[in-house]
Amino acid sequence: MQRGPTHLSLLLPWLLLAHTSAELPLCKESDYHFEYTECDVFGSRWRVAVPNKADICTGLPDPVPGTQCTFSCSEGEFLDMQSQQCQKCAAGTYSLGTGVAFEEWDNLPSGFVTHGVNTNGEDDVTDCSNSTWTPKGDYIVSNSDECTATLSYAVNLKKPGTVSFEYLYPDNSIYFEFFVQNDQCQSTDSESRWMKISDSNWSIYVELNRGNNVLYWRSTAYTLQGSDVKPVLLRNIAISGVSYTSECFHCKPGTYSAKPGSARCSPCPAGTYSNKGATVCLQCDQDKYSGISGSCTARPACTNSDYFYTHTPCDSEGQTQLMYKWIQPKICSESADGAVQLPASGEKETCPPCNPGFFVTNSSTCEPCDRGFYSNGTACIMCPVGTEPVLAFEYKWWNTMPHNMKSSIFHQEFSHSKNITAWVVAGEYVYTTPGDEDTDYLLLTLRVPGYRLPQSMTEDSHGLSRITFIFDTTCTANCKFYFLTGYSKWSNDLVEQWTGSNKKQSYSYLIQKNSTTSFIWTFQRTQEERKYSSDVAKIYSIHITNVIGGVASQCRHCALSSAEVSSACVPCPLGHYMVNGTGVCQSCPSNTFIRADQPIGEEACVPCGPNTERNKAHTACRSDCVLYVRNNAGELLHYDFSALSNVTGFHSSARFTNRGLRYFQHFNIGLCGKEVRALATCVDNVTESGSEVRGYICQSMVIPSGIRSQSVVSSQPFVIGDSLLGVTTDPNLSGISSPNWLFPSTSSLPDVIFYFRSSETTQACKQGRSATVRLRCNPTVTATDLITLPSNCSEGTCDGCTFHFLWESPHACPRCTKNHYREIVSACIQGIQRTTYVWQQPLQCFGGESLPPPKVSACVSLDFWLRFGVSTGTIAAALLIGISCYFWKKTRKLQYKYSKLMMSSGGKECKLPTADSCAIMEGEDAEDDIMYLTKKRFFGKIKSFSRERTSDGFDSVPLKSSSSHR
């Protein structure tokens, strides 16, 4: 009874489906496509039909056994899923066989997904839904706003393969990364995912594992100063490792494939064009040329911007010819109305001199001098004994392009143009030629193998080398001139850029990392169409010091360090300079160091600043963190900043871009310390190279980790201070001022100020950067490092060149002495008196002499003395009474004898009575003196005396007569 409804409920959907299917038409081949199921453990699979859209037809083909999972097609072939056989691609198409390629970006290819998200998280109200990667025909372009745009593609590989792509990444205001996630959602190592900043297209090859792989291209822009951001361009994505491709790709316009089974398409020759899927290239008309798009365009009339001039190498007579050449490929017409003609070439001129360190050979060519020689460009001269050659590259004459320099041009639109002429020599300078398009990047690259300091120098914070170049730009539009450095093929860092016309000027850059380096000068006219071909950049000279494999234009006296045994250089001892022209070494005054750029003459000795001492190498001054300063009262204060000697990092307050994206300025400070210590280091972790700068103080821009997998993003590092000028309480030192109003204080204790300077100059800071670090005593600070910036200069500097910092810490206080505490003596309680010690308030010291422990001593209290006084008084009173009684008794005896004598005399005056008894010896009492009361107690005797007193006031004394005795 209960099973009937259950069967009915299960049957109803099938009946409805059958009824619906009966109303749908039968499927045609265009309504579905074939796919393979996943491979089973035996390496088998099934081919199934999958409808292109749901519920549009019925009657799909039944599943059939598919090819083995190890099956694959070769290059130029595709798998026909109907017959499950490999077939050759038709002419005008191509395939990679076991790979897929994406070269057309008219729209987003199937399988690619792009989306934008807020960098600051969900709390940000910024709408990033439209911040995506956008197809642009030959390439796909990233976003240029402050959102994170991601482009992803998922692929299942039947065997290990690779992915390759080309990209253009010209702007360091964008962070661009590529990474892969596998089946376990594990990503590529973060150290190898950051793309190289470059003005030329780069090809990337990444190995992929078998199985599922999700490819990610992610970009985020930061418009810190409201400037336009150049987006990342991406093209030619190719993936290998798949078993097959089920379709062939059509050749792009401007390319063709003439035969079936082509693995790739060939570009059309110059002057020809083709359409999409072409099998042949067609010739353009005589008055037209083929452009980037592959179509033919009418030739414009030739102008002065369509040709350039250069010089031929010197001949045996020391002559060079001035040559005029058309920009290649030539697109202009000389026969059009108003066209200019190419000037005649061949005019001879005298060759410019050789560059310093080279000499003129018999064939009038320039060759480098041998090791141990130097020259000014004419003849090589051996360095004298006691000197060494100063190796460098110095280019100030441009007859031929130096062997370690090359010129190249990069078309932003990924042009197939063969034009590689970007910079050409012109005698006194090297300059940019007119380009095909104003958007082209004209590159001049100088490659340096490495650096080595001369024996007369030791490596310090002044770096290994310095590059200096003189240039100017002449522009009628918003042209840009870039100077970049690179330490590997993955690292190109923008050092400085100039916009518009710039007068002839010099620029220097300090090199602190010893590795192979490329220096790149890049010039771009505009981002618009071809209008400003006459805009030009010129470089007059390039000088880079301490180069391995360089040449010498001078020799340096060895005055700083000991020479090697095999060297002919005989240097002066440490701390000595060489007297001009004599070769005699003279000792520098005490606490001075040797200037590395001039070790000859007394002016080479530079005195150290206040409270600093020279290092062991005699190349700079340092502080050991110990300081003695007298205050206004004349008291000597002892400071010890050793606890602050470690490199300390801190952030500025949060800053925001125009779109509200948050970033910080990060500072690292290495205040003072031992002779050998770690310097403050700031890095750029945007690129794989991890370029870094070192000094006492450095700065970099830090962006929160929300946009990247790393904890923080650090970029644009530079040194603020690489030398210590002095340590003092004065607000001015060596032209650097640290006004007290920057950090107001109410304490009577002065701040201790460290003064630093950087020798690295920039366009804005022609005298280099400088910094002051104020150490302020604050015993109440509990934070490890409390470093603040001026309230009116939130980034630490008001002019971009001088930085100010306030460091509050208990360790910035002077060492405590006996003058910083006082003693408190308590009252005497129960015979005990306590002495305690407390700090003087407000407390302005730390460490040093500690508070003495409390003391306990015996004492005599007031009640003791009171009891002692009462007891002593009582005893004294008793003694006095006893003495009084004794003398009173003696007096009574005398009175008694006197009375007896008087009675015996009968009242006759002046007559003594006769003795009625034997003589009494002196000191003996007569028997008559014996009273019966002698055996009474003391107080009883007193009572007896009182009772025997008569009415006349005399005492009645009973006497013993002789008769009665008898």
Q: What torsion do the CA atoms of 799, 801, 806, 807 make, to the nearest 10 degrees?
A: 160
Per DSSP, helices labelled H in 819-961 are 862-904, 938-947
Question: Residue holding tokens 């929160």?
Answer: 704
> Angle CA(19)–CA(20)–CA(23) in degrees, nearest 5?
95
pLDDT reported for residue 754 = 96
d(CA 225, CA 219): 19
d(CA 501, CA 507): 16
Q: Do residues 933 and 941 make contact, with C-beta atoms less than 8 angstroms apart?
A: yes
Q: What is the third-level CATH fold of 102-120+127-243?
A: Jelly Rolls (2.60.120)
| Nearest CA-CA partner of 468 in 493, 495, 492 | 495
Q: Which two tokens stand for residue 393?
A: 């590259």
pLDDT reported for residue 696 = 93
The secondary structure of 712-733, three-state, reads: EEEEEEEEEECEEEEEECCCEE
The secondary structure of 126-144, three-state, reads: CCCCCCCCEECECCEECCC
10 Å Cβ neighbour count for 856?
A: 10
Q: Give Cα 756 to chain centroid, integer Å.
A: 17
* 3-class secondary structure, 447: strand
| Nearest CA-CA partner of 243 in 341, 47, 100, 343 | 100
Q: Which two tokens stand for residue 33?
A: 């496509």
d(CA 301, CA 549): 48
Residues near 261 by beta carbon (within 8 Å), at least 6 away in sequence: 76, 77, 88, 89
* Per-residue pLDDT tens over the stretch 570-591: 667 777 777 765 667 788 888 8
d(CA 780, CA 761): 40
* 3-class secondary structure, 855: strand
> Angle CA(206)–CA(209)–CA(212) in degrees, nearest 5?
110
Homologous superfamily of 353-554 in CATH? Galactose-binding lectin (2.60.120.430)
* Per-residue pLDDT tens over the stretch 196-225: 665 555 667 788 888 788 888 988 887 665
Percent of the chain with pLDDT over 90: 15
d(CA 656, CA 664): 9
Residue 77 is classified by DSSP as: E
Q: Which of 194-208, 271-285, 356-370, 542-556 has the lowest mean pLDDT?
A: 194-208
Strand segments (E) across 316-440 = 319-326, 347-350, 358-360, 366-368, 373-374, 381-382, 387-395, 405-410, 423-425, 430-432
Strand segments (E) across 295-379 = 296-298, 307-311, 319-326, 347-350, 358-360, 366-368, 373-374
d(CA 589, CA 580): 17
Confidence of residue 844 (pLDDT cuts 50, 70, 90): confident
Residue 604 is classified by DSSP as: G
Q: Give Cα 588 to chain centroid, integer Å.
A: 37
Strand partners, 282: 273
Tell which CATH architecture fits domain 626-813.
Answer: Distorted Sandwich (2.70)
Could you check whether the bond before residue 454 is cis, i.e. omega within 30 degrees of 0?
no
Classify strands 211-221 and 147-157 as parallel, antiparallel or unpaired. antiparallel
Distances (CA, A) of 86 to 77, 83, 246, 449, 667: 6, 9, 9, 51, 62
Sign of the Cα torsion 571, 575, 580, 582 reads: negative
Average pLDDT over residues 406-426: 68
Percent of the chain with pLDDT over 70: 78
Judged against a pLDDT cut of 60, whether residue 884 lies above it is answered with yes
Instruction: Give the residue range(s) of CATH 2.60.120.200 domains in the chain.
Output: 102-120+127-243
d(CA 659, CA 49): 49
d(CA 651, CA 682): 13
* 3-class secondary structure, 95: coil
pLDDT reported for residue 926 = 47
Burial of 957 (0-12, 13-18, 19+ CB in 10 A): middle
Residues near 426 by beta carbon (within 8 Å), at least 6 away in sequence: 309, 310, 311, 398
10 Å Cβ neighbour count for 199?
A: 24
Judged against a pLDDT cut of 50, whether residue 237 lies above it is answered with yes
pLDDT reported for residue 5 = 41
* Per-residue pLDDT tens over the stretch 132-147: 899 988 789 998 887 8
H or E element: which one contains 10? helix 3-23
Q: Do residues 208 and 242 make contact, with C-beta atoms less than 8 angstroms apart?
A: no
Confidence of residue 164 (pLDDT cuts 50, 70, 90): confident
pLDDT reported for residue 461 = 46
Instruction: Give the residue range(s) of CATH 2.70.130.10 domains in the chain.
Output: 626-813
10 Å Cβ neighbour count for 792?
A: 8
* Per-residue pLDDT tens over the stretch 34-66: 887 877 777 788 888 888 777 788 888 888 888
* Per-residue pLDDT tens over the stretch 920-955: 444 544 444 444 444 445 445 545 544 444 445 444
Instruction: Give the residue range(s) of CATH 2.60.120.430 domains in the chain.
Output: 353-554
Strand partners, 474: 536
